[in-house]
Amino acid sequence: MRLAGRRRSREPEPRVVSIQDDVIRLGQFLKLAGLVDSGAEAKEVIADGLVEVDGQVDTRRGAQLRAGAVVSLRGERVRVGEPGEEPDVPW
């Protein structure tokens, strides 16, 4: 049965990138996840308001992320994985 007027666009699940500690700083995570190539690029995209954490723009390069946080940049979504969680990376 279909509910009239209710359309749900489902975003694909974010890929998972595990961290080794309980927290990681936003700029470091962007580099670890391969969303940026350098710390300078991380600083720039964060300052420009291009990065979202859990759906909210975050302009704090040092913001601390914990497992479960979802980071978005340029349409790509990456979830912070638990230490030891199997990563979804191509290498």
Show me where the domains of the chain are located: 15-81
**pLDDT tens digits for 40-58?**
999 999 999 999 999 999 9
With bands split at pLDDT 50, 70 and 90, how would you rate the model's confidence at 88?
low
* 52: number of Cβ within 10 Å: 14
Burial class (CB in 10 A: 0-12, 13-18, 19+), 88: middle
Q: State the fold for domain 15-81.
A: 3.10.290
H helices present in 1-91, as ranges: 26-32, 39-47
The number of helices, as runs of H, and strands, as runs of E, in the chain is 2, 7
What is the C-alpha to C-alpha distance for residues 71 and 29, in angstroms, rounded to an integer?
Answer: 9
**pLDDT tens digits for 18-41?**
999 999 999 999 999 999 999 999
